Structure formats: C-alpha cells, structure tokens
Amino acid sequence: MSLSKPNQGKKRKHMSLSLSDKLRVIEKLEKGVSVSSICMQYGIAKQTVSDIRKKKDNIRKFILKFNVEKETSVLKRMRLPLDQSLDDAVYKWFCQYRSSGLAVRGIEIQAAADRLARELNINNFKASSGWLFRFRRRHNITNKKICGERFSADNEAVESFRKKLNDILKAENILPSQLYNYDETMLYWRALPDSILASKADKNTPGMKINKDRVSALLCANADGSHILKPVIVGRSKKPCAMKNTMEMLPVHYYNSKSAWFTSDITIDWFHKKAVPEIRRYQTEILKIPDDKVKALVLLDNCPTHPQVEQLISDDKKITCMFLPTNTTSLIQPMDQGVIYTAKRLYKKKLLNEVLEVEEPASREEGRKYSKTFQNHKHYNIRSMIYNFASAVKDIKPSTLINSWKKLLINEEVELDTAELETEDFHKIFHRGGENSATLEDIELWLEADEYDLGHHILTEEEIVESVTAAESSETDEYDKDEADDNGNPKPKLGEIKDHLNIVIKYVEDNNDENISAYYEHLRHLRELIIKKITVKGRQPKISSFFKPVSESSVNNEGVP
C-alpha cells in the first residue's frame, strides 16, 4: 500500500508568462506582495519569481522600447532583432510617416527595410513576410484601418489619454508643479517683412547670408506655471564668433547640428544633463521637497526626432517621460496652446525694438533714421537673438502657462491673451521706426512665417541611416564666422566708448526713474574697466621703442678696438 500523496511524482505544469504578466509580477513585488501569493495567483514556481525579479530592469526596458501593451500583449520572450541598427532605422522611418498622418502598408515597410539595409551595407537581407510579422509584433504595430488620406485629430484618443493621465497623476501623487511638457519650434530670428526698406537693403548687401537665419528652439514648463526651464537653442555653428568667450554664460542651452534642427542625440543630452538637474534643483530648493521625494512626469509629442521613451528616464527613474497620442498636438499639447506663439511674438517685438531706429519726436532726419536701422539690422547677430529670446521667454505670463494646460487636463477651452501682440501693435512699431511701407498684410505674413513650423523636419532615408549609425558629425571650426558676424565693421575705440558711457551715466544721474537708477553702479563699474584698459594700453611700449636707431658715428667706429 502506497503512502505517497496523490500529487506526488507529478510535474508542475509549466507556465510561461507574457511580458505583460511579468511586469505585473514586478509591480506586485515592489508593492510588498509576498512571493507565495504571486506563485499561487499565476501558478508559477518561486524560482520563476526570482528570475523575473533579477531581470526586472531588462523587462521594463524591452517593454518601453518596443511599446508592449500592458493590457493586451501576449508577447512572452524578449527576442531582439538580428541587426539592431536596421530595426532602429526601419522603426524610425515607420514612426516618422505615421506621425505625419500617412497610412503605412506592410509592403511599404518591407520596401523601406530593403532600401535601408542596402544603405547600412547589410548583405543577404530580405524583408520577407516572416520578417514583417516579427517586426510588427516586436513593436506592437497593428493593422488598424485609417480613414481618409490623413489622420484627423483623434478626439477619442484625446479623451482616453486625458483619463489615463489623470489616473496616473492620482496614483503616483504627482503635483501640477511636477508635471511638465516640452516642445520644439523653428524661428527665423533675423527676418523682417519683405516690404520694409531695411529688409530690401539687407538682401542686396554682399555677404549677408539670409538662408542661415534660422534656429530651432525648445520650451519646457510645468502645469502650475511656476517653473519654465532654461530655453534651448539649436544653431548651425558649434561656436559662433559672436559668442566667443561667453558660451558657458548664455541664458539658454546652446547646441548645434548640421541643419539647425533638433536631433535625438541633442534631446537625450538636454534631458539628462540639463532638464533633469534643473527640475531636481527647482523641487529641492524652491518647493523644499526632500531629494528622495523628487519626481516628475514630462509629456512630449511623438515626433520623428524624439528618442524612445526608455532613453528619457533619469538614473533614479523618478523623472520619466510619456508620449502624447499621435496626431493630437494641435488639440492638447500645452506648449502649442499659446506658449510658443507668445514667446515668438514677444521675441519679434524685442527684435524690432533693437533694430528699428526710433528718434525723439523733435528729430525729423528720416534718411539718418533709415540708415541707422539698416546698420542695426546688419549688426544684429546670433548672440543678440539668444539674449532677446531668453528675455522673451521670461516675459511669458504665468497665467499663459497655466491656461495652456486646461485643454489637456480638464477639457476647457481658454482664449489666448494676445494683448499688445496683435498685428496692429506691430504695425505701430514699424511706423514709429519710420518703416511706413509695411502694411498689415505684410506684417501678418511675417508674423506667421514661422508660427506653425516645428523644430524638426522629415528625415530622408540617408539621414535616418546617419542617425542610427552616428555618422553625422556636427563638428565645425573652433569659432565660426556665421550669420551677421563677418560684416567688416571697425571696432569702436576705447576712448569713444568711455565718452559715450559718460553721457549715459550723466543721464542716469539726472533721472528720477528707479528702474533706470538701478543701473548706475553697473555703468560706473563698466566705465572703470574701460579706463583700466585705456591705461594698460597706454603703458604698452611700441615695438619700435625696442630698436634704437644706429648713429653714423657708431657705424664709423665699428670694429675699432
């Protein structure tokens, strides 16, 4: 008679969990659920739970990288592609076209894969039906029917995302001050309306490179309007001449790329080296949040140049990113609900204030006014632009930042505050500067020229290959002569600078305006530095003083003992 238990000798049925189930196991372990309870719930051995715990970081990275749906995916293994660079290139190509509102068929993905494989010098590759199936499954790409030639802004996706976001904010106890959004835009930083005199003269001036007068900019702010991060500017030159010796003191984070567009590498560097420290510093120093309690969620749109989400996570995993639904930027992305619009218009006002020559009412020298406006515009360089753009960002009202989030968070339409930023306001500025030829239509076209342009562009297949192989080099000369730097203008003499400072200081001394008087000490200090330079320069002997003229007698006596 056997005394063994009925189940003794029977093997446990092998349970193979999906990656979604493995993620749930990890979440339960982190919440303190016992291993025994997890084993009972999923019918797995303790060793399986231990293996999942050990591989939790790799599982999370894989799920984020390949967009594994937590609720619906049945994917069980973390199978990586045979050639990662080709997989990255094809997926970047796919995301780019889908985010542009284009339907992408399987046959088109296969054709793109074959072309990109040739560009990457991958031999004996064929984008077969089996490869396409594995590629789609790996990246969780489904064959959803797309109506029309382009996606329309998906209101259902917006509502679903809004609910999902609010659930996350409640579950993770994320405050409005810890919720951020960033977005890029393009800026024609020296452009003026074509009809004005200064613009016409500028185009006819030899050496003026109008095609270079574009940069990309990035803005990032939180949901309660209390924190806007230092802006980011991407130009073409690595070290523009105009910014010599000031690169580390700029009021923006400056990067460069071949075409002045944002790239994935720039975004990754900015997020980890600039954004994360700024967010952490703000929460610990301003909000007085303990360092171990710092956290943030950063929202971004799913544009082609953005890195994958797993690349935008702080080392301690407390500051993370989340994509907005595809094709919903115009509907809900906060920075596109008036923030970027306001920053650009404020910048253009500062550009005009610096370039247009406005004389006092008593002066009627129109010719001189036009000539000085032209010279001001000619001298306006990328350094001037950077300081004006940073100043414009600082001038954005907290109410504008707060209102920009209302559509996303509570589905409330908010009318944009455009006081002093209307076309008519700019028309008055132009007329005050003597540019009477600028019509309302001209100014409207100028204002809207870059109003809806992004800080990235659709990559060609060659550019995609460059991006995944890190072939593109952004290195340039140590200091580049670009934009308005190389204009051949003589530097003012130190004595002239001192004389002009004397006039300004006298004006400040006689002025009762506290805002103007606040600069008195700074101006005196600047004058003192100029005087020191003049003194040092005056003490320096000329090179001719080191060589005494030879007298005739010394020549005659040469060689005489």
Q: What is the pLDDT of residues 189-233, one digit of tens each?
A: 999 887 665 555 455 544 444 435 889 999 999 999 999 999 999
CA distances from 78 to 48, 66, 141, 250, 383 (A): 16, 10, 16, 45, 49
Angle at 252 between CA 248 and CA 255, to 5 degrees: 75
The 3-state DSSP class for residue 18 equals: coil
pLDDT tens digits for range 144-169: 443 333 344 467 788 889 999 999 99
pLDDT given at position 340:
94
User: Does 90 score more than 60 pLDDT?
Assistant: yes
With contact defined as beta carbons under 8 Å apart, do 475 and 238 qualify? Answer: yes
Name the most confidently modeled range: 30-44, 325-339, 342-356.
Answer: 342-356
Determine the pLDDT at residue 250. Answer: 94
pLDDT of residue 163: 92
Q: How confident is the model at residue 4 (pLDDT cuts 50, 70, 90)?
A: very low
Q: What pLDDT is recorded for position 134?
A: 79
What pLDDT sits at residue 283?
97
Q: What average pLDDT does this structure show over 404-430?
A: 90
Q: Is the pLDDT of residue 70 over 80?
A: no
For position 181, what pLDDT does the model report?
97
Q: What is the pLDDT of residue 173?
A: 95
> Coil, helix or strand for 321?
strand
* 268, pLDDT greater than 70: yes
pLDDT level of residue 274 (50, 70, 90 thresholds): very high
Average pLDDT, the chain: 79
Please say if the pLDDT value at position 474 is more than 50.
no
Residues facing residue 420 across a β-bridge = none
Q: Which residue has the tokens 């515009």?
A: 377
Q: 233 vs 59, 255, 401, CA distance in Å?
A: 35, 6, 20
Q: What is the pLDDT of residue 74?
A: 46
- What percentage of the chain reaches a pLDDT higher than 90? 30
Mind listing the pLDDT tens digit for each residue in 480-500? 555 444 445 567 888 888 888
Residue 330: which pLDDT band, with cuts at 50, 70 and 90? confident
pLDDT band (50, 70, 90) for residue 124: confident
Alpha helices in 236-320 (DSSP H): 264-270, 276-281
Q: Residue 254 and residue 234: Cα distance in Å, rounded?
A: 6
- In tens, the pLDDT along 359-393 reads 655 555 555 556 777 788 888 999 999 999 999 99
Examine the pLDDT at 514 and tell me if it is beyond 60. Answer: yes
Amino acid identity of residue 148, one-letter, is G
| pLDDT bracket for residue 417 (50, 70, 90) | confident
**Cβ atoms within 10 Å of 272's Cβ, excluding its own:** 16
Which residues lie below 8 Å from residue 444, measured CB to CB, with a gap of 6+?
423
Q: Which of 75-84, 108-117, 442-451, 546-555 has the lowest mean pLDDT?
A: 546-555
What pLDDT was estimated at residue 72? 41
Q: How large is the angle between the packed helices 440-448 and 423-432, nearest 10 degrees? A: 110
- pLDDT, greater one: 370 or 258: 258
Cα angle 404, 405, 408 (rounded to 5 degrees) comes to: 120
pLDDT of residue 136: 79
Q: How much is the pTM?
A: 0.69
Separation between Cα atoms, residue 506 and residue 510, nearest integer Å: 6
Q: Look at residue 498 in the predicted model and tell me its pLDDT.
A: 84
Rounded CA-CA distance 88/466 in Å is 12
CA distances for 166 relative to 76, 170, 279, 410, angstroms: 30, 6, 21, 9
- Please check whether residue 217 is in contact with residue 266, taking contact to mean a CB–CB distance below 8 angstroms: no
What's the whole-number mean pLDDT along residues 531-554?
63
Give every CB contact of residue 524 below 8 A, 6+ residues apart in sequence.
Answer: 505
pLDDT at 402: 95
